[in-house]
A = this chain, B = another copy of it.
């Protein structure tokens, strides 16, 4: 049996090989067997963007303190967040900006292009589509939009083709859509989510003020502008 021949070095090697492996178990999504808190993922994306800016202005290396300061975060938090995924820094020196950014992008999965569909070409849908240039820089691309209004079908906005919502299922498969952004009128969100899930989508960005019922392997991120505004009201003097 091969197992008997494995020496210390080989064990280390094989542990390197599984590096970067995401899997789902009873504790939710894990990375190399460790459960990653959701806030960590959000911050990872913030780090990537900040690093992009630093890189753009010619900064080549950066400490956890500098990166944290740029985002209003504690330096220990920066180091701890990164430590979930490996060792990326050099003691005494800090992190190499471009290298770290690349590593984070690869962890997030945005080192390749992530393909999005926007469902609902109302004002919010259009706002998303009009942001595509910014999004493209960060690694995701809106490749299709869907609407129920026949007058909008067939055209395009910002280079994004608009299809009829009836085509959602087959287009999701054909176009290899990764993420569906739901920006339809209130009440129509669940139906869209159902079709997306049917077609194999596992990540949904939901702007409709409704809770979506989805299987446990599907991740839904809620963005609820009315809730954001109302919460702010509490903090008024």
Contact = CB atoms under 8 A, between A and B. Distances in A.
Interface of A: 29, 38, 41-42, 44-46, 48-49, 70-72, 107-110, 114, 116, 122-124, 126-131, 134-135, 138-140, 178-179, 181, 186, 202-205, 209, 211, 219, 221, 223, 225-237
B232 A221 contact: yes
Going nearest first, the 6 A-B pairs with the smallest beta carbon separation are A123-B127, A45-B230, A219-B235, A124-B127, A203-B232, A123-B130
Given A109-B236, A232-B205, A135 B226 contact: yes
A159 B24 CA distance: 49
Given A72-B211, A227-B45, A233 B130 contact: no
Contacts of A209: 49, 134
A202 B49 contact: no
B221 A205 contact: no
B45 A225 contact: no
A89 to B, nearest CB: 21
A72 B222 CA distance: 13
Nearest to A158: B123
A222 B138 CA distance: 18
Interface centre among A38, A41, A139 (most CB of B within 10 A): A41
A139 B42 CA distance: 30
